[in-house]
Structure 1
């Protein structure tokens, strides 16, 4: 039995996070068990999501706007009913959003073997992409098929909504939550198994060898404000990249991101989540272009704290433009690791009080990846239990990509900051779906 601290409480933990609460009276414990988790709101000063009006989701919902759902159709109906009136949607068990099969989404005439034959690099080459292909071409039929899947697996989340899992095994397989152009959304205690794109697009011009590109993130925060993602688990589940086939000598990539925050989204707090077993994990700002900059500049304010990033390849997160505060997170690297923080166009990252666990032979200089010259702050971080200056070690190991120190701002929206040396024990036991109490 080990003594751990979780959410400000001292606990004795054997396997789970709340085996025993110490120093809490019986009355208080009973009260805690009786709390309606669906009506909890983001606390004051808890990251960028607490800025201004704060994030309350559907906490004010009346009884008529509280739903319990057990299937995908029922979930999508609950999202629509009542419009943007405050609502609470309780998700019970795991909901399959994949659809009957990939074949069920195929447009008439679509044939993958014909697609492969038509766009084989030996025939098509690498000098032009497929965007201009007509609707009756194999690529046009692929687009139509993908549109059918798109309409099925995406779910638009309205303003003033709380979506919360009931118990330890609630979540979605293959869903893509679209938190788009709305304010005030809470998503908690859910496991998201990544959507599997049935119809990835071949792009002959993406790198010298071409690439397969897919759609569908588990959750997208697109132009929305005041969003709280808490105690969720994001994973590839039964379909890791290692199970995917290869065509044209490239992996047939059927996954996109786990959580993307784009198009001027603002005031987001992501706390106590698990992001695991994925390649391109979190993208903040999706382009360097002038048109994107006009939308994103001054926005994309996001806080990550007490999250577990485990067995990821990259983007934890990759950042453009945003003021991102990342503290008290645990990063666990395994085979295939590329980097954690991607330093992109005009990003202003503050990465402090985090813990990194790297395998033997992997240098700490890989934790940061420079895409653009954007200064960052990276203080009091520990690698394999020892304090490491992430910027200094990066510059020593990657002298061709020098990073500068000093993000130019100081985060103030933080609650309790735990010692970096203790973070692995706290986060590994307490983050993710099923650990919300």
Structure 2
């Protein structure tokens, strides 16, 4: 075995362990059995379902599909199939109880580490077609499973936010970085082509592939995500009561939902407060607004005389380096995220103030594109030219062109292994329990 493959296996084992410690910290180490079995919102699964689903997914892909091993618990596959069981129905299933889920996950992990030790992660098809991949090549299937667990951890954090009761999650940092005003409110992105998507990132999903050239007109994009203070001006100006700012579907949602502010906001006299993981606090003015739906983001942009960026506009602002013409893996370059560059990985239980990560600025001067809040774009989720499903259709393809809107950039709850400038998230335009915000754009020819 080459030293390079040894290092890859060491990293995979370490990332698998980090993911499991985080999952257990959000479930078994945080709540009692009653809370883990309960459904805290019809929008979300019982937390114990997520926990055992993580182990079942790992078993199916790392032991059966990639390792060729016999099924450990084929009897539970149907219980933890996300497509067979809508979230609202999962509480009625005969789920593994918390300690059963722990024992099952531990058994799966022991066998996975044994299989990893024997795996050939240099395996490539011969002959190789352009863009072709195998499950084991460069550890791809292990990367899928690592990211999958962290994505469910973020989903579990959304469940914790919806849960009523005393706080159980602790802040990991004493004080966030201070807010730094932007040098300008918006950045001009020059007209011209850039490379969107990727062909070679070993962590990338099928929907991020392949790399293709997109030619855009010049446009302006906000230097920072929209803050709570800016969004409050829209609220206080009667934005939720003014039909002018809403699309037809957005206005229908707003009236039916009787929305008056972002989710979890409440007015206490003249002060806006928010509920955050069981704590009630004043809304911090200099943090990016979160828990807004696509419809709310779109209405704010109209009120401000602007619009939401397209997915391509967001990615060019995040990746394009005008000095070299290259598209970078992250706004700051190709190096992995760290605490100076982005607010990721649940270090804090919320966004950092705008301008708090100067090392994360893009070559064009756009800030906080990675971490803090997922950012809504105006684009409906679809495949790129030449899209090919891998390793299964249900990850991406079945969601294409079904009115799901694309979100970009990750949030404070997203783990660094599960985000990059090409990463594409998607959700229904009405969703706001997710850690979502936005920034605005406008056409340059309006100047």
TM-score (norm 2): 0.23
In terms of fraction of residues, the more helix-rich structure is 2
- Greater length-normalized contact order (CA 8 Å, ≥ 6 residues apart): 2
TM-score (norm 1): 0.23
